[in-house]
Amino acid sequence: MRELEKITLNGVRYIVWDELRGTCPQAEGITLLLSSRNGVGADALLVIPHHRPLAIRAYAKDGHEIDVDENARNAASLALEDLTMLSAGGKNGERTVDRIEVRLTDSFCRRLFHTGKSARIAG
């Protein structure tokens, strides 16, 4: 089982992947993870590298790397902090923040890392 955080900040849904707990999937796995139908459902994946936590990378739903904007940096910093008052949702300054813990099954994790043209996405 793999635990992730889903943070909604100012209407944008992020999944935060901390590489301290394992490497990030490739583009096909990211597409599956962010899928609203077959995955967790999010707008972007934020990856926090284990060796340089401030060098955050962001990926779009299609699995391609995108620029990290201020909203994404704020979401990543919230994931790194222990903010228990935000665990059920709340306001942080002027930002609306929702945090949800996501648990991926071992079966789904295998699909994340073994997706490809021959892999079955649904079911």
Architecture per CATH, domain 2-113, reads as Roll (3.10)
pLDDT, tens only, 15-66: 999 888 788 899 999 999 999 998 999 999 999 988 876 789 999 999 999 9
Indicate if the pLDDT at residue 96 is higher than 90: no
| Pure H helices in 1-123 | 27-34, 70-80, 106-113
Q: What is the mean pLDDT of the chain?
A: 81
Indicate if the pLDDT at residue 6 is higher than 70: yes
For the chain, which residues make up each domain, given as ranges?
A: 2-113
Indicate if the pLDDT at residue 84 is higher than 80: no
Burial class (CB in 10 A: 0-12, 13-18, 19+), 19: middle
- Structure confidence at residue 95 (pLDDT): 57
